[in-house]
Amino acid sequence: MMPAKPPTGKAAPKPEEGFKDIYVLFISLGIGVLFLLIGFLSYAGVIGFQFRAGENGTVANPEPLNIFLDWMVLAALVILGPYGIVRARKLSRISGIEKRLPDFLRDVAEAGRFGMTLPEAIIVASKGRYGPLTDEIKRMASQLEWGVPVTEALFLFRDRINTPLTRRVVSIIIKANEAGGNVADVLTMVSHDAKEAQLSEEQRRISMSTYLAVIYISFGVFLVTIYIMAATFLPEMITAGSQIAASAQASAGSAAVAISVQYIPVIFLAFFVAVIVHSIGDGIMAGVIDQGKIEIGMMHATFMLIAGWIFMRFLVPVLNV
């Protein structure tokens, strides 16, 4: 009976790794452009679809610019959402792997202090549990047991994980092993430095979480302010304008102060545009503050844009003039 072939060579890419992020971005951009085209056709009156009936007084004559903004919001959601979520998941995976890498290096260093070679220390340390890193470490240990050179096994491990910290650590380990020095001391130093860097990053995120909360709270206050104005202040302005117009007609020839209430829907439209701008801008800023990544900001912008659009289109009262 022939023995099984040793597990050498590059690993087959996982399904989520084979589907590149750039493909998601290109597909999202294509769908977003399609939504913008539908928005232009709706604005021109070619398509009569509307998200909310009763705008601008009648169902048959909705405010066309509002409908165009609806499609623009959908286009922004399609462009920002999928790519932001895919990138956020990938960054979360990288963070989970790199978080456990110092523990693995520490265990390899401890095994090396008992006189084991680097391959033997890796095999012994592979018995531990390292979260999302466990399967790849066990695979590397299996390759070493089959006689694969430790340098090649480390290179394959680096290519499969393919994170910044993994690439840097593997390069240091290979150089130290080739130099013939005390690899255990090098591993201990690298593990300590990586752990310190992760603790510093965690402390930075904790300190910046206050600013992240301020961004979300200020956005919520902005939406509530718009609701109060649309529900109380602007309707009172419409009523006052109607009364002044009626009194002006009753007293013909007298100079009366007029209120141009026909511009109030334009004010509401300005609020709608402001919500869109704030959602995207504040969301991206939140991602940069949270993790220093625009991709994370795209995910925050998606959530804020969904909340702002639903709030403005379905919760804020319609202003009929």
Residue 220: which residues within 8 A CB-CB, separation 6 or more? none
Structural domain of 174: 97-199
CATH code (residue 123) = 1.20.81
DSSP single-letter state for residue 317: P
Interval 125-157: pLDDT, tens:
888 888 888 888 888 888 888 888 888 888 888
Of 181-185, 264-268, 273-277, highest mean pLDDT: 273-277
Q: What is the CA radius of gyration of the chain?
A: 30
Phi, psi at 84, each rounded to 5°: -65, -40
Number of domains making up the chain = 1
**Cβ atoms 309, 73 nearer than 8 A:** yes
Average pLDDT over residues 30-38: 91
DSSP 8-class letter at 318: P
Residue whose tokens read 């994370």: 296
Residue 126, domain member (yes or no): yes
Whether 295 and 301 have beta carbons less than 8 Å apart is answered as no
Bigger pLDDT: 95 vs 12? 95
Mean pLDDT value of segment 77-87 = 90
Higher pLDDT, 57 or 119: 119
Average confidence score pLDDT of the chain: 79
How many CA atoms lie less than 13 Å away from 96 in the CB half-sphere? 11
Q: In the chain, what percentage of residues exceed pLDDT 70?
A: 79
- Asked whether residue 127 is assigned to any structural domain, the reply reads yes
Per-residue pLDDT band at 53 (split at 50, 70, 90): low
The answer as to whether 256 is a domain residue is no
Residue 160 lies in a domain: yes
Check residue 170 and give its pLDDT. 86
183 found inside a domain = yes
Q: How confident is the model at residue 224, as a pLDDT?
A: 93
What is the reported pLDDT for 236? 74
Q: How many CB atoms are closer than 10 A to CB 149? A: 12
**Residue 290 in domain:** no
pLDDT for residue 136: 85
User: pTM (2 decimals)?
Assistant: 0.75
CA 101, CA 194: separation in Å to the nearest integer?
8
175 belongs to a structural domain = yes
CA separation for the pair 157, 135 (Å, rounded): 11
Q: Residue 54: pLDDT band by 50, 70, 90 thresholds?
A: very low
Has residue 58 been placed in a domain? Answer: no
Lowest model confidence (mean pLDDT) among 26-40, 74-88, 106-120: 106-120
pLDDT tens for 219-262 read 999 999 999 888 887 777 767 666 666 665 556 554 455 566 66
How confident is the model at residue 278, as a pLDDT? Answer: 93
Q: Which of 11-25, 173-187, 213-227, 290-304 has the lowest mean pLDDT?
A: 11-25
What is the pLDDT at residue 292?
Answer: 81
- Asked if 138 and 2 touch (Cβ cutoff 8 Å), the reply is no
